[in-house]
Amino acid sequence: MLKHTLVFAVLLCAAPLAAQERPSQATVDAYLKATFGKAPPEWQARIKPDDSLAICNATRNNPSSAQSDEILKREGARVVLPADGKFLGDWKKGYVVANNGRGGQFSDAPGTVSGGNCFACHQLDPKEVSYGTLGPSLAAYGKDRKYDPETIKDAYTKIYNSMAAVPCSNMPRFGVNKVLDEQQIKDVMAYLFDPESPVNK
């Protein structure tokens, strides 16, 4: 019995070697397209990476310095700052945006409001027990930066289009990709920068 198990184990080890061959790009593309089958047209359009994402994909998120400059320039030009010049909304609504991971999923009912899902990657309110660590902690974000107006503008830019600040950022491009609207970004900004927000307590 033991012998049989050993033979089986050896075969199992050998099998993945053959499976490691990369499928052709055409196979991968066709498969991806098929998984988007029932998605609405604006989603279909996202299958094709935009020019900046194409560079990130081709370089495995390791763009050259010339490519980084190109991305920063292109993505910076896509940032739309609030027309009324106000960056901060309501921090209580911002908490809801930060804590909502729904929207943009196949299982969502049509018209579902998307959230920012910030807690999936960041610590924000230090009292919140559950958060991800892919991004840096944002606890005391406004307070530590003395609520500086330039920093507030930079943070809005970052949230609107993360690649305008860091080429090939792993953070979603919330404004550019229409995940969050202007008011939602203002509210989440208030969650980061309002002195009354639990983030700064």
Structure tokens at 53: 């994402």
Least Cβ distance, residue 73 to ligand HEC (angstroms): 17
Closest contact distance (angstroms) between CB of 195 and ligand HEC is: 17
Token representation of residue 10: 């050896």
Q: Whose Cβ is closer to ligand HEC: residue 118's or residue 139's?
A: 118
Cβ neighbour number for residue 6 with a 10 Å cutoff: 10
**What does the block give as tokens for 184?**
């939602």
Place of tokens 């049989």: 4
Q: Which is nearer to ligand HEC, 36 or 121 (CB)?
A: 121
Q: Which backbone phi and psi does 148 adopt, to 5 degrees?
A: -65, 125
Nearest to ligand HEC of 19, 134 (CB atom): 134
Q: Which is nearer to ligand HEC, 158 or 186 (CB)?
A: 158
Q: In terms of CB distance, is 4 or 146 closer to ligand HEC?
A: 146
Minimum CB separation of residue 84 from ligand HEC in Å reads: 20
Burial class (CB in 10 A: 0-12, 13-18, 19+), 159: buried
CA distances for 77 relative to 14, 33, 152, 161, angstroms: 51, 29, 18, 10
Shortest distance, position 198 Cβ to ligand HEC, whole Å: 14
In whole angstroms, the minimum distance from the beta carbon of 102 to ligand HEC comes to: 13
CB 49 within 8 A of CB 57: yes
- Residues contributing to the site for ligand HEC (CB under 6 A): 98, 116-118, 120-122, 134-136, 138, 155, 158-159, 162, 165-166, 169-172, 174, 188
8 Å CB contact between 142 and 195:
yes
